[in-house]
Chains A and B, each alone.
Chain A
């Protein structure tokens, strides 16, 4: 079994805005591209042009429908990747120490050299955030682009995860959730950011900002009362027009 590090003040993670995510999968493919070429073994694809294509992805977007008690059904896009939990069950279950949580920033990583591909961590993760690469036989997961965020070969503005850099609607935010004054912590505070399945006690670092209420036409009525007619037919309208032309 593998030990978690002592609690760190730095908790790097993602804040994902479900009110803004349009479900475009930009983050999914940008992640696939960066992590195929970079950290560890490439993310492979099986039967790539065939009947049952399936490959390794570290981040996937799921779409759900929600039917409120009143009003129209809604569509929610839900991107999901490793949440870099404080009490990460995928780490403690690892028999070889391959799965570990970094002491300095809390990122959960897999040391591929030590991974035996047993799959226990994927079984222990309640979020389904780990995928065993079929070609390399090692466990793959979100690295929070640990090879980007400190990378001195990248311009400073690019030292963020590939998924955050590429997100067209700006629904993904990266930062230190251990720092109450960080931009991401403030966003979580303002928007009521939530843990995914907090009852499991995994203490995820990543947070989700909930969708704002939708289809609330009635609230706006207070600001904009229904229009009062100035005329109901053409001649009345033209009379109003003549009276008002002088004023413009």
Chain B
């Protein structure tokens, strides 16, 4: 038989049109090309021109087409008709829904605006939602940072004026050794994958520090299978080894950090541990040339890292002197931490040696001239090509803030921040914590709040406390329990509101936050709190309004559901005022726009807030004649000005040619659409590194409107505001912590990071979750394609525990913690820390949610570890129950979970087996043959 082949068309028409917008299948905000056929979404691919993803796209992004046709999409506003949690609703009109909401909220605003708790989840419109909350006047607003990664963000900003992900990135093009700590596989996912690809191509070394060897850690050249929660111990050992060998960048430390700043070193002094300052309040250093004390920013000085001066009877020595005392101590020696970290002493020493070798023997020098903030001209940019990245794995611990701080100190002593080959900030960072807002909480009936809710505290005077010392905010952010809780504590809102501590509320108003399921610790407890009734038979939390695009678990607990549009059906802006999409070489922002119109009675949540704001008469949402100021979110995006000339979008302002600052341009959104949905303004070469101290960068940033005057600053190895809280705990000043918190504040607020941890012999095993790369929170499990990749989540068990329990394939285990127990399927994984078990996050679903069949594996074999985690720690000897949170920031300590495990007979389904909620949208279709073109 001879070969024959048919003639095929190798140039078929691809689509009628490409519409370029921004992905929202996770929080990474990649640019996408949406191919349209006959008005429908036919195919989604990455946008090659986009600064975030440069054309590539992950599994979630490509599966967006299954999200816009998802059967779980809500269809209409819903009013609860059954008991809370049952999922019994009736569909109502938008007029009725908005009337119900505005009547209730108007009364709250007139009586006591703090009775509204407005918390938005993983949305990316926080500068807008906070603006709305500010206009309403409630002090109770935050987004999801408190249960996500505030430790990373706050530690970074307090230490060096920026952190990872949105704030900065490794210099992928120059780095020669990259260490990745505790990164779930999703965060900043495409940029990290692209970066790892670049490193692999160049043969640069990748070290993965993670108890679990999957994803990025699977391709790491070296895997360090650390014991969870001990990263800070490991990092301080690296600091110790590097200092002991003198492998630190003395020039960098002296010029760009507060290492040479003089500290009051007299333990009896009232200002012990505070900086010595001049009359302009500038910290002082000793100039090696003159031997005299001078302001840190004086031109031509050579700050002395080991200076000292005696003044008014008090000896002042440097921050670096204090660091030497702290980190040279033998407790930090590799030999003394190895066992607790689960890493050999030799490995710790060798990694320190490798870091030193690459940083100092493989120095990079770029021939770029630049001028620093002291006015000194430099002929080159010197780089130390070691870089680091970290996320929730190190931050979601009660010692997370200090661990993140320790990592930044390691970066800084190596001289590898904002230098070629090291870690680089992305605009609007770097930005000193001192030029961020402070928390505001002043409220009065029918008045806007006195300023932005969230910010950075710099001492006891900034805490959000009422005159009687109780918390001003429902989540107790910015109190002695967590003085630096810059992102609020969303995970405490429901339990505090339920307990009436610090006070009761009227309305809980939430957006995109699955609090009755995977976004809460103690999921079963939260469900009960949301449904509990008082002695009058009324709900303890009287009124719940919730907005979501999909039929999530939280929908069932709302009294009123405001259905959101999907990400391809609404406007959004990814703003420099919020969580931007910048790259190290440029400022960038982006939009979403309705590439398709909703086929249901749903509205973008932000547009609904514009309407609701006007109905409530919020001053920032009404015109002088009382009419609605912003017709919808698109109108706000274009016309709102935060300050004259500064709006949500930085691009195409004025006549379309202004960037950063400029008049409102009515054509702005069209310009964005023409440009592919985004805007980018590149930074000139002489401003590209050394940004916190580089005057060319500082001036560029002012021109772009990132701040109003050049604001160079020193990296804060020693965080003086922490010392101020400590001093208060030691009995100084007007505002001091209550007695029961005094010792805790003193211990927690160490101005140089120290590591601590608790141990519980009855629960010896660490239990973690990771987010898979192909699934994001509860945004995607209903996705017909992605659930075929991640439809079940066994509990992965390391070889040692597998053998100890005589587990076999197909077995089940009971996992218990001090708080509860679950019964789940197990699977063996060898590439895993020997004392750690883990599972994929948020694959488990409640029956009836997400338009899935009640027999869906997500509901029968999928499970949450959340049932094992309480928002409070078990009672201790002091009779108190401390929050299961970082005592500095209040970050939820998810990853401190310790458990015991035992083999049990297989039940028919996972336990606890929560009864089904009724689906307000029915169930999905049986089969799919999805093709929109003809």
Contacts and interface: CB of A to CB of B under 8 A. Distances in A.
A203 interface: no
B908 interface: no
Interface residues of B, number: 117
A116 interface: no
Given A21-B219, A72-B225, A238-B306, A53 B784 contact: yes
Interface core residue of A74, A114, A169 (most chain B CB under 10 Å): A169
Interface in A1-48: 1-6, 17, 19-26, 28-30, 32-34, 36-38, 41-42, 44-48
Interface stretch (B48-56, B456-464, B630-638, B762-770): B48-56
Interface in B212-256: 213-223, 225, 241-247, 250-251, 254
Contact of A224 (B63, B198, B354): B354
B857 to A, nearest CB: 7
Contact of B350 (A2, A109, A226): A226
A44 B305 contact: no
A108 to B, nearest CB: 11
Contact of A165 (B45, B61, B194): B45
B3 interface: yes
Nearest to B246: A230
Interface core residue of A6, A111, A217 (most chain B CB under 10 Å): A217
A201 to B, nearest CB: 19
Nearest to B349: A226
B492 interface: no
Interface core residue of B43, B242, B774, B929 (most chain A CB under 10 Å): B929
Contacts of B831: 65, 72-75
Given A51-B856, A65-B831, A72-B831, A227 B197 contact: no
A117 interface: no
A24 B244 contact: no
A214 B200 CA distance: 13
Interface in A163-203: 165-171
B773 A51 contact: no
A166 B33 CA distance: 12
B216 A215 contact: no
Contact of A100 (B5, B251, B325): B5
Interface stretch (B76-84, B786-794, B808-816): B786-794
A49 B930 contact: no
A136 to B, nearest CB: 8
A32 B55 CA distance: 18
B56 A49 contact: no
Interface string B343-361: 0000101101110111001
A65 B830 contact: yes
Contacts of A102: 5
Contact of B354 (A37, A171, A220, A238): A220
A224 B194 contact: no
A148 to B, nearest CB: 8
Interface string B903-934: 00000000000000000000111111111110
B105 to A, nearest CB: 36
A25 B5 contact: no
B829 A65 contact: yes
Contacts of A37: 37, 42-43, 930-933
B43 A23 contact: no
A240 B117 CA distance: 56
A242 B855 CA distance: 71
Given A151-B11, A153-B11, 14 more contacts: A3-B4, A5-B3, A32-B63, A37-B932, A45-B927, A49-B782, A53-B788, A67-B830, A74-B218, A109-B5, A227-B242, A234-B329, A237-B243, A241-B250
Query: What 3 A-B pairs come out closest when comparing CB atoms?
Result: A49-B924, A224-B357, A227-B245
Interface of A: 1-6, 17, 19-26, 28-30, 32-34, 36-38, 41-42, 44-51, 53-55, 57, 63, 65, 67, 72-77, 97, 100-103, 109, 111, 113-114, 135-136, 146-147, 149-154, 157, 162, 165-171, 211-212, 214-217, 220-221, 223-234, 237-238, 240-242, 244-246, 248
27 contacts: A22-B216, A23-B773, A24-B215, A29-B785, A30-B45, A33-B62, A45-B927, A45-B928, A45-B929, A48-B924, A53-B787, A72-B831, A73-B831, A100-B5, A111-B5, A135-B929, A147-B10, A153-B12, A166-B62, A168-B56, A169-B219, A170-B194, A214-B223, A220-B205, A220-B354, A226-B349, A244-B250
